[in-house]
Amino acid sequence: PLVLIALIAVVNPIMRGLAMIFARASDSQVERIATMWYFYFLVVQVFLFYGISGTVFKTIQESLDHPKTLLNTLAETIPKNASFYVQFIVAKMFTMLAQDLLRTINIFQAGLRRLFCGPDYSPRDYATVKCGCSPLSLAFHNNMISTTAWLLVTFFIATTYIAIQPLIAPTALIFFMFAYLVYGT
């Protein structure tokens, strides 16, 4: 799950750039389109690709030999991938939520801002964006596209796999409780 999270982190800036090219009307329209595209990408990538790919390779030979047993084979093998999603939600909890709570990217940007742009002498200097870096005192929800899409995909995975793997319910509950602490307050 950690490799998946690292690979998907690269897609978000690409989706934002494509949305900026596609929707030149306003920033809110760019945010809406980028969030929608990123959510669809995450559903296909995380939910469909990783959920079904583990079973497709096992069932190709069986489906070619006995095509009538394809649905039965998928019904037997898809629940075996449900434990992956429990691990995925836990990995997201310790990467996404912990990173946003600790504000590591914002602290790094504030250090770069101070190093390259000099110290802030007045309250106006402290509150303005310099060198492309926001001040540390601003709210840390810089990337609502990624945050919203990840929360929606996590909810989608949890509600889908709750009947197959009941252990996902307390895991998702803990994830969303921590997400409320980080983003809701």
Report phi then psi at 130, rounded to 5: -125, 140
pLDDT of amino acid 136: 58
Going by C-alpha positions, the residue among 154, 159, 151, 149 that lies closest to residue 36 is 149
Q: Which two tokens stand for residue 68?
A: 């009538």
Q: How many residues does the chain have?
A: 185
Pick out the chain residues at pLDDT < 70.
1-2, 4-6, 24, 47-48, 50-63, 70, 73-74, 77, 120-143, 185
Percent of the chain past pLDDT 70, that is, above it, reads: 69
pLDDT of amino acid 27: 76
pLDDT of amino acid 172: 92
Name residue 133's beta-bridge partners: 130
Name residue 141's beta-bridge partners: none
